[in-house]
Amino acid sequence: MKTGMRNILLAASLALTTGPALAADPVEITVQRFFGTCDADWGTNTDISKAIGECGIITSQINKFAADNPDIKVNVNTVEWPGYDQLTAQLASGEPPDLVTIHESVLSDYQSKGLLQPLDEVLKSAGVDPAGFTAAGREGVTKDGQIFGLPIDSHTMLWHINMNYFRKAGLVNADGTLILPKTADELLAQAKQFKEKVGKPYLVQSMANEKGAFYRAMYIYLTQMKSDFFADPTHLKLNTPEAKKIVQLFKDIYDQDLTTKDQDYAASLSGFTKGDGGVLLNGTWVVGDFDALSKAQGNALSDGYTVYPYPPVFGGTPAYWSDGHSWALTKKDRSPEQTAAIQKFLKFMADTNFEWARTGHLPAQQAVIDSAQFKALPHVTTILDIAATAKPLPAQVRHQFAVNDIIGEEVAAAIMGQKEIDAALADAETRVNDLLAN
């Protein structure tokens, strides 16, 4: 009896101590991304198909993943573009995020220092087959024979065109299609005609703080002319007749007031939507936003927006600068549950790659590119060839963001008359080669 009572009391005591079974705490992972903030518009949206633009879509993707996986808590760090100074500091302090958005041109800078974890086994366990990536995506995330990122897009620079102004300038064919210049002389003549008829600059450019813009134009036209300025990945050769032709064209446009001047990136974007000029030089990442704007009434792009790759005005064959966004995994200790959560997250991002392609970027999953759903998106037909012709710099070229900035700074100095063209190209060579030698 005493024993039985003791057991009853013990059972009651245990029940009071442990209480009812508790639900397990959610597994926490931290993802860090750029692409801006837009919580006021999309902070609670889980219907990805309704989201517009890079910020809206990636915010909605993460919201949807979190809603579908209540056992996983996703902590989101949103950093100012591109966020690499912050990432470097986080890695140095030993407290990096788990997953981070990163340009494929930057992957080598972190991978070569052993700061990123190869994803081959993670993706395999997640059910994501790298054989399904596009060739550009696979090349962009493959370093030393291993996969170091989940590619989510390929992107390049484009001509974003205000067709309302081009019609007014008489730069359309009888059937209403756009007349694009075929040579540098045609481009200058078209720009002068545009300004005379419309009273606005032909080009809208970010020249105040977008160092990479001129580099990307140089890359596109040098590649089309088959001037391989990085034939040796450790040495830049830019002081060439082909490079001089490109800089001279942009300098002529600048000197003849055929472009906006002194605008930073945000001002050029805003200015184009307000009707500052005819052609905005910007990337694939704004196609979705501009298309949505053109379908609304009462703005400069209403019923009048289209987009094309850079016309090959120096001859040669179509070729385009390319980079890509990807998700990379930092190297640090994790529990098996956290690794499983990361696998789920990456699988979800791969499976929703079509939604990301609605930004205007070219998707990184070949099945999405091949799909009728993707080909039915606005403006895809005019830029789809880029998926096959765009190429990134060789992965062996180190410090690619810094290289881009140096070339952009020197070319901008020549265009704005602060240096002679020869001197600017020579200085770009010297500065880049000094950087690559260290």
Q: What CA–CA distance (Å, rounded) separates 320 from 300?
A: 28
Instruction: Say whether both 181 and 278 belong to one domain.
Output: yes
Q: What CA–CA distance (Å, rounded) separates 262 from 11?
A: 78
Instruction: Say whether both 197 and 281 belong to one domain.
Output: yes
Domain membership flag for residue 179: yes
Q: In a structure prediction context, what are the per-residue pLDDT tens digits for the chain, which is 438 residues long?
A: 433 444 443 444 444 444 444 567 899 999 999 999 999 999 999 999 999 999 999 999 999 999 999 999 999 999 998 999 999 999 999 999 999 999 999 999 999 999 999 999 999 999 999 999 998 899 899 999 999 999 999 999 999 999 999 999 999 999 999 999 999 999 999 999 999 999 999 999 998 877 788 999 999 999 999 999 999 999 999 999 999 999 999 999 999 999 999 899 999 999 999 999 999 999 999 999 999 999 999 999 999 999 999 999 999 888 888 899 999 999 999 999 999 999 999 999 999 999 999 999 999 999 999 999 999 999 999 998 888 888 888 888 999 999 999 999 999 999 999 999 999 999 999 999 999 998
Instruction: Say whether both 300 and 201 belong to one domain.
Output: yes
Domain membership flag for residue 348: yes
Instruction: Say whether both 88 and 178 belong to one domain.
Output: no
How many domains does the chain contain in total? 2
* pLDDT for position 396: 86
Instruction: Say whether both 63 and 150 belong to one domain.
Output: yes
Placement of tokens 């001089």 in the chain: 244
Q: Which two tokens stand for residue 92?
A: 């140095």
Domain membership flag for residue 20: no
Q: What CA–CA distance (Å, rounded) separates 37 from 359?
A: 15
Instruction: Say whether both 84 and 196 belong to one domain.
Output: no
* pLDDT for position 6: 43
Domain membership flag for residue 11: no
What DSSP letter does each residue of 262-304 carry, written as one string?
S--HHHHHHHHHHTS-SEEEEEGGGHHHHHHHHTSSSSTTTT-
Instruction: Say whether both 79 and 209 belong to one domain.
Output: no
Classify each residue of 394-409 as buried b or exposed e, where b means 16 or more C-beta atoms within 10 Å of its C-beta: ebebebbbebbbbbbb
Instruction: Say whether both 134 and 164 belong to one domain.
Output: no
How many beta carbons lie within 10 A of that of residue 119, not counting itself?
24
Q: Which two tokens stand for residue 94?
A: 């030993």
Which of 366, 384, 402 delimits the end of a domain?
384
Domain membership flag for residue 208: yes
Question: Could you give the angle at which helices 84-93 and 104-111 cross, rounded to 10 degrees?
Answer: 20
Instruction: Say whether both 181 and 140 belong to one domain.
Output: no
CB 156 within 8 A of CB 215: no
Instruction: Say whether both 144 and 54 belong to one domain.
Output: yes
Which residues, in sequence order, are CB contacts of 288 under 8 Å at separation 6+? 52, 53, 54, 57, 358, 359, 360
Instruction: Say whether both 281 and 357 belong to one domain.
Output: no
Instruction: Say whether both 202 and 268 belong to one domain.
Output: yes
* pLDDT for position 98: 98
Which structural domain range is residue 52 located in?
A: 27-154+323-384
Domain of 69, CATH number, reads 3.40.190.10
CB 414 within 8 A of CB 425: yes
Domain membership flag for residue 1: no
Domain membership flag for residue 5: no
* pLDDT for position 367: 97
In 3-state terms the chain splits into helix, strand, coil percentages (rounded to 5) of: 50, 15, 35
* pLDDT for position 22: 53
Domain membership flag for residue 32: yes
